[in-house]
Amino acid sequence: MAVPATQLKQVLHQAASPVRFERVTKRFGTVMAVDDVTLKVPAGNLVTLLGPSGCGKTTALRMIAGLEWPTEGRVYIGDEDVTPLPAANRSVTMVFQAYALFPHLTVFENIAYGLRVMRRPHEEIRHRVGEAMSLVGLPGLERRAPAQLSGGQQQRVALARALVMQPKVLLFDEPLSNLDAKLRKRVRADIRMLQQDLGITSIYVTHDQSEALAISDIVVVMNQGRIEQIGTPTDLYRRPASRFVADFIGEANLLPAVVEDGTVRVGSYRFPYRQPGVATGAATLMVRPESVQVGVGGEGLPGRVQTAFFMGTYADYLIETEAGEVSVADPRSVDGIYPMGTEVRLLFSPTALYLLPPGA
């Protein structure tokens, strides 16, 4: 990114505040958009709200912004209970899904908008807008109209406009959904780098799990207005708290298993596996496709190859077993795949297994 704008950076770093949801519920008529959510976002972190469309992510974000009000519960920014405060008094800014750039104002005036509303002196406005623009890397575009910018540039204008206000919290609502796939990867890396550089508290809404895993300190998985799980990206991937999370984050085989003392049995395949805190009895075992080895003969869960595709860096199998269908992404079969109908044995590498909590 461009020339560091140290002063703004410092200020932003100081401003960064934690955000807290205290048993927040939001109903629209009979629709439960957000259902009894309690959540802590540490200062300086980037936290993602992840979930399928309609699960209440945007509504949760808008309650932090002050654009929507909780039906029950309180919202805190820093130590302050902001629940009764209108959006204008919260020191929170947002990058909107379609950027919401004012079409009748130039890039400069867009970024300066909030400062003009606050009636800051001209000199200060020029200085601060300049700082913000160089921070996001937008040199020389001051006089352009928003419609004359590319999608990526528009996004950066929206970001600069949000940063120039020196917010305590920065909100993003699916900021990449209007970019094409290639640009998306780059912009999300930019956002992450800038966020870490500035140390600003950011809350980021997306329905794209790979985006969430890539940029977050903490991911909050939501489903039907409730929180399914909160954790780091690795946590969620390795140790999903529910079937929903296991399925939503990456691909997962969920197999019926029986836990015995020090071993786990799936179908007729028994192997040593320990997971603290799991009682003996019936359980659900999560096996990621990439942690299954396919072999012929010997130990393992017996099965028959149903479909087999050569994918370049790995082989993609669907294998019928006594415990149900197992999907496999085997990187070792590059030099030869087992054809359809082959009787095979599946081995699970114990480091990538996880027993879901009962009832999950």
Partner 1 sequence: MTSSTIAITRPAHAPSMTLLAWGGLALAGGLLLPWFRTGRDLASFVAGTTGIELLGSEPAVAAALVCALLSAILGMLKLPLYRRGQLALVTAAAGCTLVVLALVGHGQPMGPAPVVVFLGFLSLVGVGLSLSGYLRADAFIAASIVWVAVFVVLFILYPLWAVLQASVVVKGRLTLEVFGTVFQSPNFLMINNPYTPRDEIRIAVTFGAVVAAVSGLVAAVLARKLRPVVVWAAGSGIAGLLISALYLGFGAVRNSVLLALVVGVASTGLGFLFALLAERSQLPTRRLLGPISILPIITPPFVLGLAMVYLFGRQGFVTHSVLGMSTTVFSGLLGLSIAQILAYTPIAFLLLQGVVRAMDVALEEASETLGASNWYTLRTVIWPLARPGIANAFLLTVIESLADFGNPVVIGGGKPYLATEVFYAIIGRYNPNEAAVFGVVLLSMTLTIFLIQRYWVGERFYVTVTGRPTHATPRKLPRALDYAVTGVFLVWVLLIVLLYGSIFVGSVTKLWGFDYTFTLAHVKGLSPSGWYVFRTTASLSLIAALPSTALGFLIGYLVTRYSFPGRRALEFSSMLSFAVPGTVMGIGYILAFNQGTLLLTGTELIIIMAFVFRNMPVAIRSGVAAIHQIDRSLEECSTMLRAGSLTTLRRVVAPLVQAALLSGLVFAFVRAMTAVSQVIFLVTPRVNLSTALILSYVEHGSMGRAAALSSVLVVFMAVVIMIMYSVTTRIDARAGRGAQAKP
Ligand X SMILES: Nc1ncnc2c1ncn2[C@@H]1O[C@H](COP(=O)(O)OP(=O)(O)O)[C@@H](O)[C@H]1O
- The single residue among 34, 55, 94, 194 that binds partner 1, judged by CB under 8 A, is 94
Cβ(27)–Cβ(33) below 8 Å: yes
- The single residue among 33, 200, 266, 323 that binds ligand X, judged by CB under 6 A, is 33
- The single residue among 4, 23, 72, 102 that binds partner 1, judged by CB under 8 A, is 102
Binding map of Mg ion across residues 325-354, x = CB under 5 A, - = no contact: ------------------------------
Could you count the other beta carbons within 10 Å of the beta carbon of residue 88?
10
| CA pair distance 144, 196, nearest whole angstrom | 29
Terminal C-alpha separation, the chain: 44
- Beta carbon nearer to ligand X, 17 or 48: 48
Cβ(239)–Cβ(354) below 8 Å: yes
Q: Choose one: 5-13, 38-46, 198-206, 308-316; the region binding partner 1 (CB under 8 A).
A: 5-13
State yes or no: residue 223 binds ligand X (CB under 6 A).
no
Residue length, the chain? 360
Residue 254 Ramachandran class (φ > 0 left, ψ -120 to 50 alpha, else beta): beta
DSSP string, 91-133: -EEEE-TTTT--TTS-HHHHHHHHHHHTT--HHHHHHHHHHHH
State yes or no: residue 92 binds partner 1 (CB under 8 A).
yes
In the complex, least distance from residue 33 CB atom to ligand X, rounded to whole angstroms: 3
DSSP string, 210-223: HHHHHH-SEEEEEE
Q: Is 342 helix (H, G, I), strand (E, B) or coil?
A: coil
State yes or no: residue 58 binds Mg ion (CB under 5 A).
yes
State yes or no: residue 360 binds ligand X (CB under 6 A).
no
Could you count the other beta carbons within 10 Å of the beta carbon of residue 65?
18
In the complex, least distance from residue 277 CB atom to Mg ion, rounded to whole angstroms: 35
Cβ(213)–Cβ(219) below 8 Å: yes
- The single residue among 6, 38, 148, 263 that binds partner 1, judged by CB under 8 A, is 148
The site partner of 166 among Mg ion, ligand X, partner 1, none (C-beta below 5 to 8 Å per kind) is: partner 1
| CA pair distance 287, 327, nearest whole angstrom | 9
State yes or no: residue 206 binds Mg ion (CB under 5 A).
no
User: What is the pairing mode between strands 281-287 and 292-295?
Assistant: unpaired
State yes or no: residue 31 binds ligand X (CB under 6 A).
yes
**Which residues make up the interface to Mg ion (CB under 5 A)?**
58
**Which residues make up the interface to ligand X (CB under 6 A)?**
28, 31, 33, 51, 53-59
**Which residues make up the interface to partner 1 (CB under 8 A)?**
7-8, 11, 14-15, 65-67, 69, 80, 84, 86-94, 96-98, 100, 102-104, 113-114, 117-118, 120, 124, 128, 145, 147-150, 161, 165-166
